[in-house]
Each structure stands twice: as structure tokens, then as C-alpha cells.
Amino acid sequence: MSEIRILDHPLVNCHLTTLRKKSTNPVEFRRSVGRLSTLLAYAATSDLRTAELPIETPIQKMIGRQLLQRIGLIPIMRAGIAMVEPMLDLIPGSEVWHLGFYRDEETAQPVHYYSKLPDSSPVDVAFILDPMLATGGSAALACQQMIDWGVGTIKMLSIIAAPEGIERLENEFPEMEIYTCVVDERLNENKFIVPGLGDAGDRIFNTTG
């Protein structure tokens, strides 16, 4: 069974409210995505391995810590791109590998159109980034690509998740860790999360028309 971590925190709830509001403009929407991504990243990185690092402060020598593992950030384009910079602020040495999927509006299934992964030398830990975990279709394809690449630890970071998406990942990838700020009620007939926040990509990039 996949491990699911739901962030229950006053700051998370307040920033989620900003995201959900129809009146929130793209600038503030992006800021809220960034803030929530930072909070998700803080929770999801708590078990990263570190090694001792001898350093010298202005006062004396001491032993600090440095990350031991190679970290990969895997944004699912396009909305996942908005979660990359907050993660890089916390883990500047991360590698960023993009995956592109678009939603077939007739079938609501993801269509894979882009992948930027090397043939070998997988990262130790991969963070799959997508603000919305709806049907779980794109996340499942991304997770399978991480497995095929040879990644040992895979973590899914989504700001809002639907029960249907979580269930799919639990069934198909029981070893995956899922981090989300909230699990909403359901998917509607068009496979959008309810109550949700609309189309995250359109709101991030101001392409609602």
C-alpha cells in the first residue's frame, strides 16, 4: 500500500483557499503554488540521507551535514513546472528532468508527448511534481518511467488530490510515497477535481482565454 501524507497545517489551509478562489489572479495563483510546493517539499524531504561534512565557522571547526543522494525533480508539464523553482530553492543541486503529457479531452486519458530522461545513471530519489492528482493517469505513466529508468525511491507531490487518483497509484505502485495538501471529494463527469480549483495549468500560465 502506498504511503500517503496529507499536510494538515493552518498555513496550508490558508494558501489552499487562495488557490481555490475563482477571483485569484495568475500572479497570486503562482505565488500560492510556490508556497504550497515549499511546504510539500519540506515534508517529503524529511528522510533524505545525509553525510558528515567538516566545516569551519567564524568561531571554530565543526561537523555539518550534506545531502548524500542524487535528487531528481520530475515536473509533469505544463503545470508541474510551477513547482520546480520552490524545490530548487531548497535543494539547489537537484537535477530537473521533464515529462510532457496532455489530456485528451474526449477520453480524459493522458497522451505522452515529451520525455527528457537519460538512458542510464538514474537518480536516487525522484520527486514527481504535478499540482493536481486527478485520475492518476499522468502520474502513473511518470512513475512507470521512473521505474524503467531504475530509480529506487519515487515520491509524488501534488497540491490537491482526488480519491480516484490516489486509489490508482495505490493499486499500481504500492511502494510509491504520495504527498498532498488535501484530498478533495471526487472527480466530476469531466474528470475534474471537485471542489478543486479549475485547470491549474491555465491558471498558472494565464491561458484561460
Catalytic sites, residue numbers? 103, 107, 199, 202
d(CA 30, CA 197): 13
* Concatenated DSSP letters of 162-179: -HHHHHHHHHH-TT-EEE
d(CA 176, CA 37): 18
Nearest to 48 by CA among 125, 133, 140: 125
d(CA 50, CA 136): 32
